[in-house]
Amino acid sequence: MLRRIVVKIGSSSLTSSEGGLNREAIAYFATELAGLIQAGYQPLLVTSGAVAAGFREIGYPERPKLLHEKQASAAVGQALLMQAYREELARHGVSAAQVLLTRSDFQNRKRTGNASMAIEELLKHNVLPIINENDTVSVDELKFGDNDTLSALVANLIRADHLLILTDMDGLYTKDPRLDPAATRVSRVSEITGEIYAIAGGAGSAVGTGGMRSKIDAAKIASIGGVPVFVGKVADPGDLLTALRGDGRGTYFEAHGAALSRKKQWLGFFSTPIGTLTVDVGAEEALIHGGRSLLPVGVKAASGHFHTGDVVEVVSADGEVLGRGIVNYDVEQLHGILGLPSTEVVKKMDSVHRLEVIHRDEWISLKA
């Protein structure tokens, strides 16, 4: 199978600072994507830019702030965006298709499966999927991020070999290079820690809605699913292929773990935890490094109003989020057996269908 590459392009790379499409930029990216295909790769494009492309066309003097104005701008801009991509890609003999997704599409496992099958069919027929958030009906993605999370989820969904997040900054810096000439670029990140988040800045453009922090969030999601990530800038001919091969102008985030199933994606990134379990050091080690289930003996505290089959968040003794899992006990049952070894749990409860509080098959670690 051809190596699959997800390329994400943000608004600031596609539009002018005043709004409206930059056709030269789109022509450049179309050439770069065609270059990947010619080199034997199978790219998918996750693009932003619908709102930025449309607000001038619809008559707004500046990027709108009200939700319904953004939605109207996206409705106009998405058509303009796809038209531009299709025209420029056609110059290289590449066919393209529009795929619009929302957060709720990933929350529903059946809809996620349908989206996956549609994308697979497009790739089978050598059609480049161009994926965007459906901003006309979506709320969350218009407020938070610039399709960075979407690109990571798509990368996990199709089990991509790499995710390339393109931006107008050439990677993550120790400080803001626009303000501090002593700032240095972080070339490689092996683990996304609190320190990495601390040096990530906010949004850098009035046109887009994403910043470096949202790109690190995306890199964490992708890397948990086994997809390495590049965050950086491409501007010259051949830069996209150079970035893919490891010599790009940006920051490389190493992958951790194997490809995630759709169930694990849902559990980790779209489920809603109903409660919280605090575990001791031994249980943390068993969950994170031992590949084992969570037993009552390792649970120190339980909060929330959850029941058997609900999703709960698991945290360490100092409050660090370790992951999520599907719990096998009601909260009242669990309060009666906290910290007890399995032999005591069997004696204390009338019937025990499963000893594990969370079985390892119903668990996902969110700690790097």
Residue ranges for the known binding site for substrate are: 48, 135, 147
106 phi/psi in degrees, rounded to 5 = -85, -25
Q: Extract the tokens encoding 220.
A: 């964490």
Question: Are 315 and 300 in contact, with CB atoms under 8 Å apart?
Answer: no
30 phi/psi in degrees, rounded to 5 = -60, -40
Give all strands of the β-sheet with 321-326 in edge-to-edge order.
Answer: 299-304, 275-279, 311-315, 321-326, 363-365
Indicate the annotated binding residues for ATP. 8, 167-168, 209-215
Handedness of CA 189, 192, 194, 197 (dihedral sign): positive
Handedness of CA 17, 229, 273, 340 (dihedral sign): negative
Q: 310: closest CA among 357, 365, 360?
A: 357
Question: Are 326 and 267 in contact, with CB atoms under 8 Å apart?
Answer: yes
- The DSSP-derived string for 97-142 is EEEEE-HHHHHSHHHHHHHHHHHHHHHHTTEEEEEEE-TTT-SHHH
Q: Extract the tokens encoding 296.
A: 């009552």
3-state DSSP assignment of residue 314: strand
Residue 165 makes CB contacts below 8 A (sequence gap 6+) with 8, 10, 148, 151, 215, 218, 219, 229, 230, 231, 232
CA 89 to chain CA centroid, nearest Å: 26
Indicate the annotated binding residues. 8, 48, 135, 147, 167-168, 209-215
- What is the rounded distance in angstroms from the CA atom of residue 269 to the CA atom of residue 54? 30
3-state DSSP assignment of residue 181: coil
